[in-house]
Structure 1
Amino acid sequence: MLELTKSKLAALKRLSDENGVIGALAIDQRGSLKKMIAAGTASNVGDSGIIHFKELVSKELTPYATSILLDPEYGLPAANVRHKDAGLLVAYEKTGYDATTVGRLPDLLPEWSVKRLKEAGADAVKFLLYYDVDEDKKINDYKHVYMERVGSECVAEDIPFFLEIVTYDAENDDVKSKAYAKVKPHKVIGAMKEFSKPQYHVDVLKVEVPVDMNFVEGYTEGEIVYSKEEAAAFFKEQSVATELPFIFLSAGVSAKLFQETLKFAKESGSTFNGVLCGRATWKDGVAPFAENGEQAGRDWLQHTGKRNIEELNLVLKETASSWFDKAN
């Protein structure tokens, strides 16, 4: 059971709907979003392009989300134009990782602290950690200590700590492969068990679903790695692996597949508490913005983007559990 201070409880409520379900919009992408915008235009959009696209997404879509996740490098102007009822999560990690060193080691934004993020208006702090439960003990100990530090900072500032875990296999770079699909449940569930330990002071886990739905019987026309029964058992195992509230990330899959995944999770007995959904909601709006300008991007967000998020909200109402049941 999650023990919350009054301040943390109030902050989590600002990030959730009245039933204790988190329907958050994620647009804390930095380098990857720059590449997406650049791919759609011959002109150099630079920092102003990425800042402006985030503002558009925030303005047009936060009326339909419980909260928004932004980065402090390009996203704070977007925080200022969000809907008045939308809570604010802010990312604390440097984007990506240094591919020249072993271990996908975490790194903080050097000019920010949890204290400064809170002063900038954050209701909660999010940190993304790349993690392979089977990696060398020295690498994982480094990551454990790092997360203890971030958790302690959040305790000191009395602000919720959302830990986003993206799993991988140090022996296999292709996370879309059949080989990775076979080990993914072990990687995801093992990471959740580790970071549910009290020394990390995590309040909400932001995690992947425990299987690759592109290899689940009935959800693919290609090779099958898991029967429906096996996949359902992994969702259930994931759910009982932690007593903390946990929410799913969309991992860039299509809006439709993400919605189907949430239904499957519910049917499997998962007590997930919402989503932090990014690209599944807005990624197809980047091209019209980059190719045809602001109005084209705005039109896409007002129609398709809005529909994506409203359809997701309907699915959440049917599938997500309240985090109120997991907190004191």
Structure 2
Amino acid sequence: MTSTAPKADLRALARPSGAFAMLAVDQREGLRAMMAAFQQAPVTDRQMADFKMAALRALTPHASAALLDRELAWDRAIAEGAVAPGCAKIVAADVLLPGNGELVSESSIDDLVVPATVKAQGAVALKLLVIWRPDDPPEPRIALVQDFVARCRAGGLISIVEPVGRKRRDGIAWNHADGILPAARELGGLGADIYKAEMPLFGKGSESEVRRACAELTRTVQGPWVVLSSGVEPDDFPQAVDWACGEGASGFLAGRAVWRTVIGKPDIEAALRTDAVPRLQRLAEVVDRAVAG
């Protein structure tokens, strides 16, 4: 069922150009796995939280919004003022569960993220990750998104829905990129204020092929959509974002393409300044030019 309710005012999340240049630091077990590749000892929650705070301090002066998780980042970021003034705050309102050989196999709405509470703390939006599999029934996913959107509306918060493809349960091989458009057909008209999509074709293929896939996503999603960076190499992401915005995307909400290359560096804060900040600045320039032009 398509929602006909009025859309929220999204300007709080956007740059002056109207484009979205949003930073994600809500990664949980995925971040732990990235950090584990560079050390022998188990990665602690404190290590991850310290990295998130450093990333927020370095990068949010250059982002239009920042996405934080409740478990490791939200309360500490608020207490320490880690998010720069003028950068809107988004809370990840999802519980991410492992299984099926995957770091994130299922998701649900996090009832510990109370809309009224986080709004009073400065949040303007919530985000929900939805796991999409071609051989799972659509009804539970649809109900999940509808519940989330209703909670956001009732709480006066912008809703961001992020469908992410996973392997089939029956073990039959399939190309994850083939699920991006079907997921949008299923979930892109349920009233979410922003649809956060995996990059069509994961940015692989000729410019014309990627652009056609992005244009189809624009025709499918009933509202603005932005791209995430998982599945795209950091050096390739600016070009992918440029193509997506040229075909109707409104920007990005991404983390790995901005800060993944600094993981494991001996001086994280210096690496954030010299590597991650220029990456984010370049991406902001790309979306400003593409959306305004």
Contact kept, 8 Å, 1:172 with 1:180, in 2: the verdict is no
Q: Is 1:258 matched with 2:248?
A: no
Find out whether 1:201 has 2:178 as its counterpart: no
Cα 1:49–1:104 shift into 2, 3 Å: closer
Alignment equivalent of 2:278, drawn from 277, 300, 307: 307
Aligned-pair distance for 1:22?
0.7
Aligned residues: 287
CA contact (8 A) 1:155 1:201 kept: no
Q: Which has the larger radius of gyration?
A: 1
Q: What displacement does 1:263 show?
A: 2.7
2:212 is the counterpart of 1:241: no
Q: 1:275 to 1:150 in 2, by over 3 A?
A: same
Equivalent-residue separation in structure 2 for 1:172 and 1:45 (angstroms):
33
1:52-72 per-residue CA deviation (whole Å, 9 max, x = no partner) reads: 110000001111111111101
Deviations 1:100-137 (A, max 9, x none): 89x944323343333333233211000000113x4243
Q: Separation in 2 of the partners of 1:173 and 1:58?
A: 39
Equivalent residues of 2:241, 2:251 under 8 A apart: no
Corresponding position of 2:131:
130
Q: Choose between structure 1 and 2: higher strand proportion.
A: 2
- C-alpha displacement of 1:37: 2.3
Alpha-carbon distance in 2 for matches of 1:145, 1:271: 27
Deviations 1:42-95 (A, max 9, x none): 445522111111000000111111111110111112353111010011101112
TM superposition outliers: structure 1 runs of 4+ over 4 Å: 1-5, 171-174
Residue 94 of structure 1 aligns with which residue?
95
2:181 maps to 1:213:
no
Between 57-66 and 115-124, report the one with greater CA deviation: 115-124
Quote the Cα distance in structure 2 between the aligned partners of 1:252 and 1:37. 18
CA distance 1:84–1:98, shift in 2 (3 Å): same
RMSD: 2.7
Cα offsets for 1:147-175 (capped at 9, x unmatched)? 2111111111121100011123416879x
Distance in 2, matches of 1:255 and 1:95, equals: 24
Q: Pairwise mapping of residues 2-21 of structure 1 onto structure 2 (< 5 A)?
A: 4=6, 8-9=8-9, 12-21=10-19
Aligned-pair CA distance for 1:316: 1.3
Q: What residue number does 1:143 align with?
A: 141
CA contact (8 A) 1:129 1:164 kept: yes
Code of the aligned partner of 2:113:
W
Identity of aligned residues (%): 22
Secondary structure, in 3 states, of the residue corresponding to 1:201? coil
Paired with 2:99 and 2:230, the residues of 1 have a C-alpha distance of: 20
Who is 2:51 aligned against? 53
Q: Once the two structures are superposed, what CA deviation does each residue of 1:5-41 show, in whole Å capped at 9, x if it has no partner?
A: 6xx41xx222111122110010100112122223323
| Cα displacement (A) at 1:196 | 2.9
Specify whether residues 48 and 229 from structure 1 end up closer, same or farther in structure 2 by C-alpha distance, changes over 3 A only.
closer
Structure 1, 47-56 or 89-98: larger mean CA deviation: 89-98
Distance in structure 1 (CA, Å) of the matches to 2:237 and 2:170: 25
Contact 2:218/2:247 (8 A) holds in 1 = yes
Structure 2 counterpart of 1:223: none
Q: Give unmatched runs, 5+ long, in structure 1.
A: 218-227, 323-328
Pick closer, same or farther for the CA change 1:231–1:14 going to 2, 3 Å. Answer: closer
2:115 is the counterpart of 1:114 = yes
1:215-268 CA-to-partner distances (Å, cap 9, x unmatched) read x14xxxxxxxxxx544332221111112301000011522221111123334xx
SS at match of 1:304: helix
- Asked if the contact 2:109/2:148 (under 8 Å) is kept, the reply is no
- Tell me the TM-score normalized by structure 1: 0.79
Separation in 1, partners of 2:286, 2:141 = 35
Match for residue 156 of structure 1?
154
Tell me the CA shift for residue 306 of structure 1: 1.0
Q: Given residue 175 of structure 2, which amino acid in structure 1 is its aligned partner?
A: Y
CA–CA distance in 1 between the matches of 2:288 and 2:95? 33
- Residue 78 in structure 1 maps to residue 77 in structure 2: yes
